[in-house]
Amino acid sequence: MVISGIIVGILLGWVLQRGRVCMNSAFRDMLLVKNMEVFKAYLTALLIMIIGANLLEDTGIIKVLYRQGFMPVANIMGGYLFGIGIVMASGCASGIWFKLGEGIVPAWVSVLGFFIGIVTTSEGMLLRLNQSLSNYQVWLTGSGLKLLTTKEVETAWASHADIYPLTLYNLFGINKWVVVAVLGAAILFFILKGEFHKSRSGYSWYVAGPLLGLIGIAAWWASDYFGGKARGMSFTGPTVELFRWVTQGDDPTWSVFLILGMVFGSYLSSRRRGEFKLKSCGANETIDAFMGGLLMGFGAVVGGGCNIGHGLTGASTLAVSSFVTIIFIILGNWSMVYIKFIRPMDIE
């Protein structure tokens, strides 16, 4: 478990750092500078993970992929606030972690805020608010779509009732691979438009994207085979698990070693490129980094996951909850980009 988690993590950190793949940058640059390069890397990784994850499930290599139930209010609100937070923190959940390996001090502040936001929302004073927002869920039952409370869902699962999490294929009642084919065609059409610009340093999008997708598939398999549960790549729960292992001695999970390996992989990449350097910032930026981390933690718990947990791992299972959440993460990102960057330029 330890070795596999660290190896996959090192590969992940290396590719993220070398390709500068951060979803905050991917979504922000689309609106701010009309640059689609990082977003194309994300879409390429997503397409590969969709195909790979479902092949692993259909061939029985992984018994079942965990698909999250659709929580309309929670997914929308949590995703939107998470999107705002990543702009304030200058990095998404995976971005702030891999930037630790580059020596960026504000990233440490953001990670601390991320942890506090997660714990406060999942166990602390915001627990009841979180429970209220996520109480109503949409599930597919034998009689069609139904809006159920959390308690009703738990009762249905305990009684082995005919209930399924909402996916893009069972929502429309079509074969899963038809959806994969349609999504694949749409993604390929988008990423193949325009010229293939070669990055001046590091990996171009058409290198980083495929590598990230393959690592995501490896994470699905390794977390299941060595870790006992197919979690794939995620950062919300594992962030808390890492802090508790260090401070309280709780048993670490496979995902804890994924995070540790990712930080080390980013460090190795940045040192090899001569980019590792301790970088601090002013008081205002430090406050933004911490508040952004807090908002990310709150949004990730309410929405049921972060940009990687939903945007790659969750979306690769074709869960409706993950697609809705990542859409609202993008909208939250764009809203904050407008407030923080575009509006001030318009005023000037």
- For the stretch 214-229, pLDDT in tens is 999 999 999 999 999 9
Q: Tokens 């293939």 identify what position?
A: 196
Residue range 36-47: average pLDDT?
A: 96
Q: What's the rounded Cα separation, in Å, for the pair 308 and 86?
A: 12
- Distance from C-alpha of 342 to C-alpha of 262, rounded to nearest angstrom: 33
Give the residue among 231, 234, 273, 298 at the shortest CA–CA distance from 88: 298
CB of 298 within 8 A of CB of 117?
yes
Residue 184 has pLDDT above 90, yes or no: yes
Q: Any idea what DSSP says for residue 67?
A: -
Q: How far is CA 55 from CA 34, 48, 230, 264, in A?
A: 35, 11, 14, 30
The closest alpha carbon to 218, from 316, 100, 310, 94, belongs to 316
Gap between the Cα atoms of 47 and 187, Å rounded: 7
Q: What is the dihedral sign for C-alpha 104, 206, 224, 91?
A: positive
Long-range contacts at 75-78 (CB < 8 A, ≥ 24 apart): 75/303, 75/304, 75/321, 75/324, 75/325, 75/328, 76/324, 76/325, 76/328, 77/133, 77/299, 77/302, 77/303, 77/328, 78/133, 78/298, 78/299, 78/300, 78/301, 78/302, 78/303, 78/304, 78/325, 78/328
pLDDT exceeds 90 at position 160: no
- Mind listing the pLDDT tens digit for each residue in 300-319? 999 999 999 999 999 999 99
**Is the confidence at residue 266, as pLDDT, over 80?**
yes
For range 251-276, the mean pLDDT: 96
Q: Tell me the average pLDDT of the chain.
A: 94
- What is the per-residue pLDDT for 211? 98
pLDDT of residue 92: 95
Model confidence at 263: pLDDT above 80: yes
**What is the phi-psi region of residue 201: left when phi exceeds 0, alpha when psi lies from -120 to 50, beta otherwise?**
beta
When pLDDT is averaged across residues 68-97 and rounded to a whole number, the result is 97
Pairwise CA distance, residues 201 & 105, whole Å:
23
Categorize the per-residue pLDDT at 3 as very low, low, confident or very high, splitting at 50, 70 and 90: very high
Indicate the domain borders of the chain: 2-347
9: amino acid identity, one letter: G
Give the predicted TM-score (pTM) of the model: 0.95
In the structure, what pLDDT confidence band is assigned to residue 63 with cuts at 50, 70 and 90?
Answer: confident
Q: What per-residue confidence (pLDDT) applies to 147?
A: 94
Enumerate residues 6+ apart whose C-beta is below 8 A from 49. Answer: 213, 216, 217, 220, 312, 313, 315, 316
pLDDT at 241 over 60: yes
pLDDT over 60 at 199, yes or no:
no
Q: Which pLDDT score, from 0 to 100, does residue 346 have?
A: 73
Tell me what pLDDT residue 189 has. Answer: 95
The whole-number pLDDT of residue 200 equals 56
Are 6 and 261 in contact, with CB atoms under 8 Å apart? yes
Per-residue pLDDT reduced to its tens digit, 322-339: 999 999 999 999 999 999
Asked if pLDDT for residue 99 goes beyond 70, the answer is yes
